[in-house]
């Protein structure tokens, strides 16, 4: 069977339970963003040597396929495809709490970078935030499992603390932004910042 079906030659594709829809539909955009995120994590694995971190990223890759199935089956009955559940979120929150305790309290913004692993994890975090925005937009078109949105929101937090931990393990110090061309020195903390700033809630 050929990989090409020619079904999408006119800019349309199928979506479970909805028939043919345009490829610019928010639901297709969200599926594409999830695919891009999963691929970015795959690239990140090429720069990660830590066994536990590799296992965690592999688990996230599998979870993202479940997120995609959940999204694709939004118009179908709840038991027809795998769904993201509260347990997925609880597992991530426990890991975030553990890593934050090890990394210590963050009081200022940091520049993405440091080790290769940390830089790629920050890239994953940024792509996750974009995937989240596409899911929110898709939610205006079709009802989404609320646990799916919680999962993606929590995933960006997990990737953030993983990036910090990757630097900490190799004793690479976090670098803070330098705000140039101001008449006075600014000391900008992470408190009371917009939600689209570096570490979102």
Distance separating alpha carbons of residues 119 and 127, to the nearest angstrom: 13
Give 101's contacts (C-beta < 8 A, 6+ positions apart): none
The class (CATH top level) of 23-169 is: mainly alpha
Per-residue pLDDT in tens (0 to 9) along the chain, 201 residues: 666 565 555 565 555 545 555 556 778 889 999 999 999 999 999 999 999 999 999 999 999 999 998 888 776 556 667 789 999 999 999 999 999 888 777 767 888 899 999 999 999 999 999 999 999 999 988 888 999 999 999 999 999 999 999 998 888 888 888 777 766 655 666 555 555 565 544
Q: Given this model, what pLDDT does residue 9 score?
A: 56
Whole-angstrom distance, CA of residue 48 vs CA of residue 62: 17
Report the relative pairing of strands 12-15 and 19-22 from DSSP bridges. antiparallel
Q: Report which of 167, 163, 66, 81 is spatially closest to residue 122, judged by C-alpha positions.
A: 163
Q: Report phi then psi at 12, rounded to 5.
A: -130, 155
Spatial contact of 91 and 149, defined as CB atoms under 8 Å apart:
no
Enumerate residues 6+ apart whose C-beta is below 8 A from 40: 120, 123, 124, 127
Structure token pair of residue 163: 């990036």
């Amino acid at each position: 069977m050929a990989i090409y079906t020619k079904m999408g030659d006119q800019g349309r594709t199928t979506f479970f339970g909805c028939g043919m829809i345009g490829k610019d539909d928010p639901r297709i955009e969200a599926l594409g963003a999830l695919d891009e995120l999963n691929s970015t994590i795959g690239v990140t694995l090429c720069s990660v040597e830590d066994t536990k971190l590799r296992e965690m990223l592999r688990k996230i890759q599998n979870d993202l396929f479940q997120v995609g199935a959940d999204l694709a089956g939004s118009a179908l009955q709840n038991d027809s495809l795998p769904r993201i559940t509260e347990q997925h979120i609880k597992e991530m929150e426990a890991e975030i709490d553990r890593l934050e305790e090890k990394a210590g309290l963050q009081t200022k913004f940091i520049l993405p970078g440091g080790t290769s692993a940390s830089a790629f994890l920050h890239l994953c975090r940024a792509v996750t935030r974009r995937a989240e925005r596409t899911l929110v937009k898709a939610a205006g078109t079709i009802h989404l499992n609320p646990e799916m949105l919680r999962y993606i929101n929590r995933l960006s937090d997990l990737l953030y603390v993983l990036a910090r931990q990757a630097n900490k393990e190799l004793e690479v110090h976090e670098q803070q932004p330098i705000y140039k061309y101001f008449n006075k020195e600014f000391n900008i903390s992470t408190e009371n910042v917009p939600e689209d700033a570096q570490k979102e809630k």
